[in-house]
């Protein structure tokens, strides 16, 4: 079942606000096995709106619109849709009564009444979070659902009424496809590398497709299987899913809404390990990421942000001789940083990060993007990693924090 999402407003087309309604509605439709095939934004202009509604109804099985249902003269959705369906705008009495109960004396003002109108004969959806009701009409036999542009109101009507109605329409379509899907999260390899690893994995699997999304610094892999029979779609998804896991095993850390920090926490908790951190170029980013996980106090003891060399010496016991000979961005320095924070915290594992995030600070042998990581474990064991990444300052810092988590997770899983 194909849908078109239509958002209305001059402010969208002028770039004054970001159209978050389209992305939210697309996710809601996708959750209901309805694919948003087109997204259109149009000005508060009657002619443009008429063209957009006609085009959408001419190519989609369902149209969902937001915007243009307010009290002002540029809120034209009710008037335009009424014209297209050969009806007249009329006041929706239950919505008017709710408005009157809330605003009393102001409720009879023409501008207030304007926002509780709907096309005559429309299916009406009460607005539990505002005044303007949503409504549904048929345009050329295609259901057209119109919602307020205020995100809170749009979401409330969708949750209370629209989801059930869309399911009803989808099931009534008979031949509508069911969509089985899985989202995997990969860190440590780029989109092209991940795609190469999965080459041919859906060949010969009816209705199956792979989709990739870069959500820096990770890559999302989406497995989709379509079939009119949900059980058949789920079965084929399970087969593809096994193959995807096998091929991406070294880099795959979670699925759906998982996070690398949460996966790190599971690896530590499963083995009864704790973690401490010593950060330089990341400036506390690593600590912020791991403490964003609920319950992280069970496995993360704390950390030190030692940006200046003097603080590395004072807080972590890094040798001034090491800093003089090798510098703060060196294997020797991060080894001592990791050992120092582990000794002071009593953590099972300690991770240290130091680098040159730029745009300044480069030297002849240490370009911008140079990062050293170290993880100290029981005894004298210390493992290190060295990277040189291209990119802006925030990208280098983010990669350093994520690679630090990935490195600890890998070591924990070996323990």
* pLDDT one-digit tens code per residue, 185-224: 999 999 999 999 999 999 999 999 999 999 999 999 999 9
Instruction: Say which residues have a Cβ less than 8 Å from residue 175's Cβ, sequence separation at least 6.
Output: 228
Of 180, 202, 198, the C-alpha closest to 247 is 198
pLDDT value at residue 58: 98
For the chain, the distance separating the N- and C-terminal CA atoms, rounded to the nearest angstrom, is 49
Average pLDDT over every residue of 291-302? 98
Residues 186, 405 contacting (CB under 8 angstroms): no
The vertex-134 CA angle with 132 and 137, nearest 5°, equals 135
The token duo for 402 is 């994520």
Answer whether 114's CB lies under 8 Å from 127's CB.
no
E strands, 238-381, in order: 252-255, 275-279, 300-305, 349-355, 370-376
How far is the C-alpha of 410 from the C-alpha of 251, rounded, in Å?
Answer: 10
Residue 107 is classified by DSSP as G
Cβ partners under 8 Å of residue 11, min gap 6: 17
Q: Is 163 left (phi over 0), alpha (psi -120 to 50) or beta?
A: alpha
- Please name each of the domains of the chain with its CATH number: 2-172 (3.40.980.10), 178-255 (3.30.70.2860), 260-414 (3.90.950.20)
Note the pTM of the prediction, 2 decimals. Answer: 0.83
| Distance, C-alpha 122 to centroid of its chain | 35
Lowest-confidence pick of 217-221, 228-232, 252-256, 361-365: 361-365
Looking at residue 105, its pLDDT comes to 58
Residues 69-112 have pLDDT tens digits of 999 999 999 999 999 999 999 999 999 998 888 876 565 677 88
Residues 6 or more apart from 376 whose CB is under 8 A from it?
A: 335, 338, 339, 341, 342, 349, 350, 351, 352, 382
What φ, ψ does residue 51 adopt, rounded to 5°?
-65, -40
Nearest to 339 by CA among 322, 320, 318: 318
Residue 383: strand pairing partners: 375
- Of 381 and 279, the one with more pLDDT: 279
Cα(41)–Cα(201) distance, integer angstroms: 36
């Amino acid at each position: 079942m194909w849908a078109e999402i239509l958002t209305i407003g001059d402010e969208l087309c002028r770039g004054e606000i970001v159209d978050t309604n389209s992305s939210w509605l697309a996710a809601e439709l996708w959750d209901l096995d309805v694919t948003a095939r087109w997204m259109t934004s149009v000005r508060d202009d009657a002619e443009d709106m008429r063209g957009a509604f006609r085009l959408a109804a001419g190519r989609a099985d369902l149209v969902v619109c937001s915007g243009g249902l307010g009290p002002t003269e540029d809120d034209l959705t009710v008037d335009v849709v009424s014209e297209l369906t050969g009806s007249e705008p009329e006041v929706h009495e239950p919505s008017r009564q709710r408005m009157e109960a809330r605003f009393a004396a102001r409720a009879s003002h023409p501008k207030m009444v304007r926002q509780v109108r709907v096309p005559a004969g429309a299916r009406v959806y009460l607005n539990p979070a505002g005044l303007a009701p949503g409504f549904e009409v048929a345009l050329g036999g295609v259901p057209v659902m119109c919602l307020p542009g205020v995100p809170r109101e749009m979401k409330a009507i969708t949750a209370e009424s629209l989801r059930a109605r869309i399911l009803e329409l989808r099931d009534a379509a008979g031949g509508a496809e069911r969509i089985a899907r899985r989202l995997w999260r990969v860190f440590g390899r780029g989109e092209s590398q991940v795609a190469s690893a999965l080459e041919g994995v859906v060949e010969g699997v009816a209705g199956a497709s792979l989709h990739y999304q870069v959500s820096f610094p990770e890559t999302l892999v989406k497995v989709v299987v379509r079939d009119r029979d949900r059980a058949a779609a789920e079965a084929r998804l399970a087969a593809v899913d096994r193959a995807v896991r096998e091929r991406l095993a070294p880099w795959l850390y979670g699925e759906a809404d998982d996070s690398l920090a949460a996966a790190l926490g599971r690896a530590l908790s499963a083995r009864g390990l704790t973690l401490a951190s010593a950060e330089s170029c990341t400036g506390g980013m690593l600590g912020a990421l791991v403490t964003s996980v609920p319950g992280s106090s069970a496995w993360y003891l704390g950390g030190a942000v030692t940006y200046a060399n003097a603080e590395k010496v004072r807080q972590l016991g890094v040798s001034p001789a090491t800093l003089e000979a090798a510098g703060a961005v060196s294997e020797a320095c991060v080894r001592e940083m990791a050992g120092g924070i582990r000794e002071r915290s009593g953590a099972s594992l300690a991770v240290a990060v130091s680098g040159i995030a730029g745009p300044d600070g480069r030297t002849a042998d240490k370009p911008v993007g140079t990062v050293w990581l170290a993880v100290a474990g029981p005894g004298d064991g210390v493992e290190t990693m060295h990277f040189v990444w291209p990119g802006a300052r925030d990208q280098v810092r983010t990669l350093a924090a994520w690679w630090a988590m990935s490195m600890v997770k890998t070591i924990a899983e070996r323990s």
